[in-house]
Chain A
């Protein structure tokens, strides 16, 4: 496994809404250039963790360190300038703007900070080509099928020129072929040197692409390891995978 410096570190990170603890003392790190998968049952706190890293929600305990800097008090738009971009589980294309223009927003305001329209268009077209949406760039994003709207989310994040990319269930709802497609694209991003955190329920995908997997359950980290270790860990099988999955894997 790659051993670079940690790009992101979570130290005892916690989030609670009043008395409701959504995340408790979560510790993990992400090394430069790797893909870290985050899995866990519904309500485990995966998306909340994403929201904390992208700074959409306030952190109620612990520290998040990104590129050596504490980011607890940063705003989302500051994080994007520092090289973090993300997709949303519920895709959020900007209606009224074409596919290309949607991606241009990322090029304008992300870390790339395109100075001119030409520069933004060039960056947007490159990002669309990477995810294979070059042929629908003039469409209204609301008319695209789900798989393409998910790719649009990725393209928009890519146009920002991220160092750390958070993917929130970009593979849910895709058919087998689209899934293979998306996995190949994620591996391409890794090859370009982008560090990724991937939330996913599709086990085939998360096992196939992750260097390490963090397992959350009821707001706590219950295990961390490489894909092989994760599927053999009794606590993970108990909480998330279920014994049937484990038996299938064995046979």
Chain B
């Protein structure tokens, strides 16, 4: 990271740390939600953006993470914090077990298989009523703090989760592993011939990505304090996550974060009043991104904003 960028990032983080004493509970909630999606998008970017495996159903790990915290805290009396390592671990273990068969698939086939995984977990948890409460859902213990403090608590918890995701993504981009993943993305045969154990590295990438998504699920469950299968295994979250990654720039460290902030804040301000068309706007946005900024905001406007770039991208991408 260059010095200028480092300072910019430090200012950004310090502002986020200071904000809770400046803004209202409503904005704390909006920002906590933004951190949540920034974590999911940044974590998923490791398998999607770096490695080129479109894990559309990565939200499966979010749902499982939420239920790990839910079950451990309600049935086994564990504290919130002590459940979190298990959320990350659940993602890692599942990604390794599922990766062995599924990471043999490529492109759309892999994407569809991951969606299948997500639906399978939704059904499983829906039917394990004894443990998970099934369709009735699971009510988590509420912290013995005032509402104000609870807001702040989860604001900081989610902020930490997001920073952890960023740190992980940054480290992966810098080390040997990152080179292997980017090689796999471009050409798996060439990568393999160059000595990269492709099945192993793909699995590592998915496990790292799943650990972040699982962790964010655990924090979400305690924050929202009530979960049921339909509120944590949400197909629409996958779409949102993808839109954020594409908007910010797949395969960059900060792209998914930027995508999450832009999309989440705009959607809160502009079209949260029109819930009915939310999905439509998201779809339209994805089309616009692919036509005008296929490389994402981060790469496209590195040297500053210009309409010329938008138009030349459109020319290249239209038939």
B-contacting residues of A (Cβ < 8 Å)?
A: 54, 56, 75-77, 79-81, 85-86, 88, 92-97, 101, 104-106, 108-111, 113, 117, 120, 156, 160
Q: Establish whether residues B251 and A96, one from each chain, have CB atoms under 8 Å apart when the complex forms.
A: yes
Instruction: Tell whether, in the assembled complex, residue B176 and residue A108 are in contact, meaning their CB atoms are under 8 Å apart.
Output: yes
B192 touches A75 (CB 8 A): yes
17 sample A-B contacts, Cβ–Cβ < 8 Å, listed by A number: A56-B189, A77-B194, A85-B194, A86-B193, A92-B186, A93-B186, A94-B183, A94-B186, A94-B191, A108-B180, A109-B194, A109-B195, A110-B195, A111-B195, A113-B195, A120-B176, A160-B194
- CB atoms of B187 and A94 under 8 A apart: yes
Is B29 on the interface with A (CB-CB < 8 A)?
no
Q: How far is the CB of A175 from chain B (nearest CB, A)?
A: 26
Partner of A97, one of B176, B183, B197: B183
In the bound complex, do residue A80 and residue B183 qualify as a contact, i.e. CB atoms below 8 Å apart?
no
Question: Do residues B193 and A101 form an inter-chain contact, with CB atoms below 8 A?
Answer: no
Rounded to whole angstroms, the CA-CA distance of A189 and B222 in the bound complex is 62
CA distance A203 to B304 in the complex (A): 51
Knowing A96-B251, A97-B179, A104-B179, the reply to whether A109 touches B186 (Cβ < 8 A) is no
How far apart are the CA atoms of A117 and B176 in the complex, in Å? 8
Q: How far is the CA of A167 from the CA of B196 in the complex (A)?
A: 19
Q: Which B residues touch A105, using CB under 8 A? A: 179-180, 183, 191, 194, 196
B182 and A96 contact, CB distance less than 8 A: yes
Q: Mark B165-197, 1 if CB is under 8 A from A, else 0.
A: 000000000001001101101110111111111
Q: Which residues of A contact B190 (CB under 8 A)?
A: 88, 92, 94
Chain B interface mostly: helix
Q: Which residues of A contact B194 (CB under 8 A)?
A: 77, 80, 85, 105-106, 109-110, 156, 160
Residues of A within 8 A of B186 (CB): 92-96
Chain B residues numbered 75-133 whose CB sits less than 8 Å from any CB in chain A: none
With the chains together, A156 CA to B180 CA distance in Å? Answer: 14
Q: What 4 A-B pairs have minimum CB-CB distances, sorted nearest first?
A: A80-B195, A109-B195, A76-B192, A92-B190
CA distance A77 to B290 in the complex (A): 35
Chain A residue nearest to B180 in the complex (CB): A109
Please measure, in the bound complex, the distance between the C-alpha atom of A110 and the C-alpha atom of B198, giving whole angstroms.
Answer: 13
Report whether B180 and A94 are in contact in the complex, using a CB–CB cutoff of 8 Å: no
A54–B193 CB distance below 8 A? yes
A residues in contact with B191, CB < 8 Å: 94, 105
CB distance from A132 to the nearest CB of B (A): 21
Contact B179 A101 (CB under 8 A): yes
B187 touches A92 (CB 8 A): yes
Kindly state the separation between the CA atoms of A74 and B115 in the bound complex, as whole angstroms.
33
Give the residues in chain A near B182, CB-CB below 8 Å.
94, 96-97
Contact check, B180 vs A56: say whether CB atoms are below 8 A apart: no
Our pick among A56, A108, A113, A117 for the contact of B193 (Cβ within 8 Å) is A56
Q: Is the CB of B195 within 8 A of A160?
A: yes
The minimal Cβ–Cβ distance linking B245 to chain A, given in whole angstroms, is 15
Contact A77 B189 (CB under 8 A): no
A108 to B196, CA, bound (A): 9
Known A97-B183, A108-B176, A109-B180; contact A80-B251, beta-carbon cutoff 8 A:
no
Smallest Cβ-Cβ distance to B179: which chain A residue: A105
Report the Cα distance A88→B194, complex, angstroms: 11
Please determine whether A77 and B179 come into contact, CB atoms closer than 8 angstroms: no
Question: A53 to chain B: closest CB distance in Å?
Answer: 10
Whether B179 and A56, one on each chain, are in contact in the complex, defined by CB atoms closer than 8 angstroms, is no
In angstroms, how far is the closest chain B Cβ from the Cβ of A207? 28
Chain A residues near B180 (CB, 8 Å)?
105, 108-109
Q: Which residues of B contact A80 (CB under 8 A)?
A: 193-195
Complex-state Cα separation, A79 to B191, whole angstroms: 12
> With a CB–CB cut-off of 8 A, which chain B residues contact A120?
176
Residue of A with least CB distance to B190:
A92
Please indicate the chain A residues that have their CB under 8 angstroms from the CB of B198 in the complex. 77
Whole-angstrom CA separation of A79 from B196 in the bound complex: 11
Residues on B with beta carbons closer than 8 Å to the beta carbon of A86: 193
- What residue of chain B has the Cβ atom nearest to residue A156's Cβ? B194
Closest to A109 in B: B195
Task: Contact check, B176 vs A56: say whether CB atoms are below 8 A apart.
Answer: no
Residues of B within 8 A of A85 (CB): 193-194
Contact with A along B31-65 (1 / 0, CB 8 A): 00000000000000000000000000000000000
B113 to chain A, nearest CB (A): 23
CA distance A156 to B190 in the complex (A): 11
Cβ distance B248 to chain A, nearest Cβ, rounded Å: 16
Separation of A110 and B190 alpha carbons in the complex (Å)? 12
User: Do A76 and B179 touch across chains, with their CB atoms under 8 A apart?
Assistant: no
A27 to chain B, nearest CB (A): 24
Given contacts A92-B187, A105-B194, A108-B195, 19 further A-B contacts (CB under 8 A): A56-B192, A56-B193, A77-B193, A77-B194, A77-B195, A77-B197, A79-B193, A92-B190, A94-B183, A94-B191, A96-B185, A97-B183, A105-B179, A109-B176, A109-B194, A110-B195, A113-B195, A117-B176, A160-B194
